[in-house]
Chain A
Amino acid sequence: MRFTKEHEWVRDQGDGTAFVGISNYAAEALGDVVYVELPEAGRVVKQGEAFGVVESVKAASDVYAPVDLEIIEGNPDLGNDPEAVNAVPESGAWFVRARIINPSQLEALMDCTAYEEFLGTL
């Protein structure tokens, strides 16, 4: 699993696809998630581009693509159960499954240890 400074994670499935979500830290900071807006299948998003929105009681926040992605599907469960983002942000509450367009971009992201260290600086 790799992380961005914007607190997204990407889990490479090894078959050219990946799951993408937001980290425990991000979910905790957002508070109670009440709504998630996800992209259509087939959409291509560039690294750093907003592909979705997550809304808590307090505010709406963009979710950014950790690497260039072609969306395969949004997580169909989050529409009815946005609270899952607070419960299992780094597993079941993935936001999208996507094709990784440029695998070399993954290398530049933080691994778990580096992300933990990054969180320590915040």
Chain B
Amino acid sequence: MPEPSLKTTVLHAHHVALGARMVPFAGYDMPVQYEGVVAEHRWTRASAGLFDVSHMGQARLHGEGAVATLEALTALDASRLKAGRQSYALLLNEQGGILDDWMVSRPDANGFFLVVNAACKDQDFRIIQENLRPDTQFEVLSDRALLALQGPEAKAVMAEVCPAATDLYFMDCGRFELLGERVIISRSGYTGEDGFEISIPNAKASELWDRLLAFEAVKPVGLGARDSLRLEAGMPLYGHEMDETCAPFEAGLGFGVAKTRLARGDVRGQARLAAQKAGALERTRVALRVLSGPPAREGARILSEDGTDIGLVTSGVPSPSLGYSIAMGYVPPAFAAMGTGLNIEVRGKSHPAEVTSLPFVAHSYHRKPKVQER
């Protein structure tokens, strides 16, 4: 039984029945692994993994002021997010520091659908509520589950349960009918694989979970492999690669700041963001390959080759796909060039590492083909 203070997702009993090891995460009792992190990681890369990410916050924002509300809080050009598309967005404070990272979708022309981090959702929803523009409706969707189906076989499985959703390309989204219920599906995820995220009412989540797990290609995957998969894909995790002291460009998240917004000059923390974009960075996020020794984990010191303390590891894992340890961390820009030799200190000893490029493992997204030039 979970500690009484922990919340549960609607699929909690399924995880327990599958023999998952449950751990507290962001206030929820969540599955960290079922058969094992490495096996689940490899299964996702080779076939299809099913993730319960219902702990994440879901919300709807619509009405005349929805665009203005989103633009007041994030660096998104919400007016240019077309119906049927999804975008990464950064919730910023007045200094341009990152309060959370979101996926913002426009499943239809009527409004926006937000997915936010579990650990930040109470704060995020309060900030949205406090900053609503006139004629804007905001609704937290606490009655919905979120399932992610990720991996090369995800498309074939989706073709059986919701064929229309396989027409989506990477970062497309829409409303679909699945198990007789209206759902929101996006073609995206947090693994670097092709895949889908499905927002479904809690009442139907069990049925969908079982339906998807009935496919031989699909196995459940816990938060342990979710972390190793996102690390290999070079994706940042809030509270690790970014926090409120950190602005988007130093985090390598410039793609989350719309050029049009910077040009307009009305982004939260505008001056700091413009300076960072122009190159004024004290530190920058780098990808590190550990060349020998123990895995580099969060909090390990990064040293230059002459032993100067230059930064910290923010996440690290022995990569199941690559067979060596990988990490992300922050160093001054002078140490951020590809191939730069560094050391990482673990338990008082230095171990060699080098700066490499992100992602560690190539993404396999189902991207819309570019129109050929004649």
Report A11-35 residues with CB < 8 Å from chain B CB: 31-32, 34-35
Chain B residues within 8 Å of A, Cβ to Cβ: 32-33, 36-38, 41, 224, 228, 294-295, 297, 317-318, 320, 325, 347
A64 to B317 CA separation, bound complex (whole angstroms) = 24
- Which 7 pairs from chain A and chain B are nearest by CB? A34-B318, A32-B38, A57-B37, A35-B294, A58-B224, A31-B36, A31-B37
B224 CB contacts on chain A under 8 angstroms: 31, 57-58
Which A residues are within 8 Å of any B CB, using their own CB? 31-32, 34-35, 37, 53, 55-60
Query: Do A55 and B318 contact each other (CB < 8 Å), given the known contacts A31-B33, A34-B295?
Result: yes
Chain A residues with CB under 8 A of B37: 31-32, 56-58
Q: What is the predominant secondary structure among interface residues of chain A facing chain B?
A: strand
B22 to chain A, nearest CB (A): 13
A29: nearest chain-B partner, CB-CB:
B21
Interchain Cβ contacts within 8 Å, total number? 38
Chain A residues near B320 (CB-CB < 8 A): 32, 57
Contacting pair B295 A35 (CB below 8 A): yes
Complex Cα–Cα for A56 and B225 (A): 12
Q: Please, which residue of chain A has its CB at the minimum distance from the CB of B225?
A: A57
For B227, the closest partner residue in chain A by CB is A58
Complex Cα–Cα for A35 and B297 (A): 13
Which residues from chain B contact A53 at a C-beta distance below 8 Å? 294, 347
Residues from chain B with Cβ under 8 Å of A55 in the complex = 294-295, 318
Q: How far is the CB of A26 from chain B (nearest CB, A)?
A: 14
- CB of B345 to closest CB in A, whole Å: 14
| A72–B365 alpha-carbon span in the complex (Å) | 53
Which chain B residue lies CB-closest to A34?
A: B318
Of A31, A37, A56, A60, the most chain B CB neighbours within 10 A belong to A31
Query: What is the bound-complex CA distance between A35 and B294, given in angstroms?
Result: 6
Cβ contact within 8 Å between A57 and B38: yes
Given A32-B38, A37-B347, the answer on whether A57 and B294 have CB atoms closer than 8 Å is: no
